[in-house]
Amino acid sequence: MASIASTYHVNEWLKSEHGPTVISGPCSAETEEQVLTTAKLLAEIPQVKIFRAGIWKPRTRPGMFEGVGEAGLKWLNRVQKETGLKVAVEVAYPAHIDLALKYNIDILWIGARTVVNPFSLQELANALNGVNVPVMIKNPVNPDINLWIGAIERIMNAGIERIAAVHRGFYFFDKSPYRNAPMWEIPIELKRLFPKIPVICDPSHICGERELLLGVAQKALDLEMEGLMLESHFDPDHALTDPQQQVTPSELKVLLSKLILREEKGNREFESKLEELRSEVDKIDAELLHILSRRMELVDELGYYKRDNNITILQLKRWSNIVRDRLKTGLNSGLEKEFLQKLLEIVHNESIRRQTEIYKSKKNS
C-alpha cells in the first residue's frame, strides 16, 4: 500500500480556477430533454466542470426505475458537444465500461454497492487494464476503509493513474439526521494513507435531504477535500430517483455562493501562532499517551489481582457506574456525549483484552 501511494501522481484533471471542482447533474438520466436542460443550466455555473448522470441504476427492489441504459450515453454525447462539460457515468459491469468507452465518456465512477464486492472490482479492473480514463471510486456502503483501499489498489494495479476517491457516507444502524453517516474519520484516514489521491465529497448521498447539503459541503471543504459531487435536476420534485436530495441548478448556484473557501495564510504572525498552538497540542497528546499507558498498567495489576482471587473480568455494576460518572464529568467539561461514549468503549475494550490475556497466561503456565 505504501509503495503505491508514494508513486501515485497528483491529478490535474480535477483542478479548477474557481475553487474546488464541482461535479453535478441528476441522480438519473431520465429523458433527453431533462439531461440537456439540466446540463445547459449547470454549464452557466463556473465551478461546475463535470456533468454526472446515472445511466444504469442499482436499485434495492425490482420494478423500480433502473435507468435508461445505452440511450443515455447518446444524450451525454450531446452534453459534451453543446456545453463543453466533461461527462461521468457509473459502471458496475465490464459491459458498462465497454459501452461508456464506445461513446467516449470522459470519466467513470464505481458505486458504493459495487465497491463492497472484491470479485466485481477485479472484473472491472481487468476491463480497465490498458485504458486511459479517469476513475472515481466511491466508499463502500459499510464503514470498512480496507474495502475502499482494496478497490483503489485494484484499479491502480490495472494501470489507471487518474483516480479520485468519493466520500458518500456510510450505512450505520443508528439514529442520524443523515441518510448515510459521514464518519469523517474514515476519509481523513484515507487522505493520510493516500495523500496524493484527491477526495471528493458527495453531500447529496450523505444528507438525503437538500436542507442539509450546505453544512456537509462546507465541512468537506474545511477538511481540504478537493471537490464536491452535488446532484442537480431542473425539476427535482418530479425526479424518478432520490428527488429529496437533488436541487435545481439555480439552488446549486446559491449554495455554492455561500461556501467559505479557506485560504492558506503565509504571514509570519499567523505561522508563529499556528506553530505555538500545534506545539501545545503535541505536548497534551504526549501527556494523554503517558496517562493511558499508566492506566493500562493499573488495569494489568487489577487483572492479576482478579485472576489470583478467582474474580470475573467483567463487573457490570462497576462498568455502569464508571460510564455514568465519566459521562457526567466529561459533559460538565464541555465534551460531546457521543465522543465520550466512543472513547470509554475503546478504553474499556482494550482493558478487557489485556485482562483476558492475563487470565490466559495462567492457564498456559
pLDDT for the residue numbered 6: 37
Indicate whether 234 and 326 sit together in one domain. Answer: no
Cα separation of 21 and 251, whole Å? 17
Give the pLDDT of the chain (365 residues) as one tens digit per residue.
333 443 344 466 676 666 789 999 999 999 999 999 999 999 999 999 999 999 998 777 787 787 899 999 999 999 999 999 999 999 999 999 999 999 999 999 999 999 999 999 999 999 999 898 999 999 999 999 999 999 999 999 999 999 999 999 998 766 678 999 999 999 999 999 998 899 999 999 999 999 999 999 999 999 989 999 999 999 999 999 999 999 999 999 999 999 998 765 556 676 677 777 887 888 888 889 999 999 999 999 999 998 989 888 888 888 888 889 999 999 999 999 999 999 999 999 999 999 999 988 876 66
Indicate whether 161 and 277 sit together in one domain. Answer: no
What is the tens place of the pLDDT at every residue in 46-67?
999 999 999 998 777 787 787 8
Indicate whether 272 and 207 sit together in one domain. Answer: no
pLDDT for the residue numbered 263: 66
Boundary residue ending a domain (204, 238, 258): 258
Residues 234/239/242/244 CA torsion (nearest 10 deg): 60
Q: Is 103 exposed, middle or buried (0-12, 13-18, 19+ CB in 10 A)?
A: middle
- The domain total for the chain is 2
CATH, residue 188: 3.20.20.70
Structural domain contains residue 347: yes
Structural domain contains residue 263: no
Domain extent, residue 278, equals 268-364
Structural domain contains residue 250: yes
pLDDT for the residue numbered 174: 66
Structural domain contains residue 188: yes
pLDDT for the residue numbered 3: 38
Indicate whether 252 and 310 sit together in one domain. Answer: no
Paired with 166 in beta bridges are 138, 200
Cα separation of 101 and 95, whole Å? 10
Boundary residue ending a domain (218, 239, 258): 258
pTM, two decimal places: 0.76
Indicate whether 127 and 147 sit together in one domain. Answer: yes
Alpha helices of the chain — where are they, by DSSP H?
A: 2-7, 32-42, 70-83, 94-102, 112-115, 118-128, 145-157, 185-193, 203-207, 213-222, 249-258, 268-308, 316-332, 337-364
pLDDT for the residue numbered 360: 87
Boundary residue ending a domain (220, 238, 258): 258
Retrieve residue 176's grid coordinates: 442520524
CATH, residue 306: 1.20.59.10
Q: Are 140 and 116 in contact (CB under 8 A)?
A: yes
pLDDT for the residue numbered 18: 65
Indicate whether 211 and 283 sit together in one domain. Answer: no
Indicate whether 218 and 309 sit together in one domain. Answer: no
Indicate whether 71 and 188 sit together in one domain. Answer: yes
Indicate whether 205 and 274 sit together in one domain. Answer: no
Angle at 20 between CA 273 and CA 170, to 5 degrees: 95
Structural domain contains residue 176: yes
